[in-house]
Amino acid sequence: QVQLVESGGGLVQAGGSLRLSCAASGRTFSNYVMGWFRQAPGEERRFVAAINWSGSRISYVDSVKGRFTISRDNAKNTVYLQMNSLKPEDTAVYYCTADRLMVAVASKPDYWGQGTQVTVSS
């Protein structure tokens, strides 16, 4: 089992920045591909970003490219999502995810955190 705990959400004005963190425990963190999903009100959960164990492979949904940056610190068992130039449409609950496969972490990951709310006001 892998336990994931997100933090860093909050309320920010459009154009502002937030950094989400996700602390992992339970298994060897570096064995897992890490990702982020988000769920806006009334919508399904959607993939946002993913990063492999070394950081050599990174993937983003088109709507956040150039604004969001995913990174990880294997020594701290933590993955981050730096969000810049935030827009009201970025408002959602953000979930940290983990899986052994890159393709799975972007579609149907095995492990999910409890989520953290991000609200962007216009």
Convert the pLDDT of each residue in 12-24 to its tens digit.
999 999 999 999 9
Q: 105 falls in which pLDDT band (50, 70, 90)?
A: confident
Q: 26 falls in which pLDDT band (50, 70, 90)?
A: confident
Q: 17: helix, coil or strand?
A: coil
Cβ partners under 8 Å of residue 89, min gap 6 = 40, 63, 120
* 112 token code pair: 């999910």
